[in-house]
Structure 1
């Protein structure tokens, strides 16, 4: 029984002004760090969805054992990237039982957290395992394949959080307090750099 992981990295980083996927972080880039976390986890296959800067980003991650898919509709919002990713899972030989959905701009994601989502899924039997931070439930989150149709039906800017919210009685959560940190603006990136330097 396999659990896939879907890394969403198709956005245009409008608030950052440059592709945040390629920002240096811990001797990697934000995206390659997230890919390394995934590669070291129990999840496979690993699907990375690129979009706005696909040509620039692809060479940065092509050496990893991952499947890169391109979302040509990235400007329609996150839902389109999730749809492209779920469709890619249809093409793999061994159909996954579940998928972990994560972003490339949560710098404190860890292999331990990803593995905990998977372990919690198998121990609780709950079809959705979400990360909890700042009183909210969000990604990284795991969805049983029974929710793939729900993920395919998302629209526009809607992300996986919409499905978590709609089916919260079927959700089990695990704490991820650092999940509040995501990198959208130059100021947030500067804060992150200061934080990492002082660790």
Structure 2
């Protein structure tokens, strides 16, 4: 399926107390890891929105063929990043894969499942396709162009869930993505599960 991609990597990780973008899994930063997984889906265009620690985050992506956009308003919440990406992709008229960096259990197989579900059902059921986990649903998601174009409506930390006003999106379940990296307890669980390297240990050679 022809699609674009957006990676939201601008947050300040206030509750965690360290930039989650620069945490590592098997020696690879989380922002580089999700970028690699997203690029494996062969998007036509890939945008990474950075903000906090933007220079360090951008440096880890030097080897990837992506467009980096700096969100100067990153501290106002995720909505400002979504608006920037939507403005950059305006008029392209294709579906957009949207991901974040703080789901260390994400694998390429789930992104492929999302894209397949969206493509297979699009001719019968024109809806966005999101990830279901626990009792919630959200990112990673495939947004239709008409949904992404409404991002100007978003404010603060609303995220793109506020865009699903016309109909309930279809979903692909991935309960392993329910655990993100909001605080130190989340980080400890991720380390124990082998999903994140312990930042207190020296980097792997």
TM-score of the pair, normalised by structure 1? 0.90
Q: By how many angstroms is 1:148 displaced? A: 2.0
> What secondary structure, in the 3-state scheme, does the structure 2 residue paired with 1:17 have?
coil
Checking the alignment, whether the CA contact within 8 Å between 1:34 and 1:104 is kept in structure 2 is yes
Structure-1 separation of matches of 2:186 and 2:70? 27
- Summarize deviations over 1:148-171 as a string: whole Å, max 9, x none: 22223211111012223x3443x1
Unpaired segments of 5 or more residues in structure 1? none
Q: By how many angstroms is 1:25 displaced? A: 1.3
The two structures, once aligned, show a CA RMSD in angstroms of 1.7
Greater displacement, 111-120 / 72-81 = 111-120
Q: Are residues 152 and 116 of structure 1, via their aligned partners in 2, closer, same or farther at CA, if it must alter by over 3 Å?
A: farther
- Summarize deviations over 1:76-101 as a string: whole Å, max 9, x none: 1110000111122249xxx2511111
Unpaired segments of 5 or more residues in structure 2? 196-205
Structure-1 separation of matches of 2:178 and 2:167? 20
- Summarize deviations over 1:29-71 as a string: whole Å, max 9, x none: 1111111111111323111000011012111112111111111
How do residues 87-126 of structure 1 correspond to structure 2 at under 5 angstroms?
87-90=87-90, 95-125=92-122, 126=126
Q: By how many angstroms is 1:118 displaced? A: 1.5
Q: 2:148 maps to what in 1?
A: 148
User: Whose helix proportion is higher, 1 or 2?
Assistant: 1
Checking the alignment, whether the CA contact within 8 Å between 2:86 and 2:149 is kept in structure 1 is no
Structure-2 separation of matches of 1:46 and 1:134? 29
Structure-2 separation of matches of 1:16 and 1:63? 27
Q: 1:178 maps to what in 2?
A: 176
- Summarize deviations over 1:141-188 as a string: whole Å, max 9, x none: 111101122223211111012223x3443x111111112110122221
How many residue pairs get matched? 192
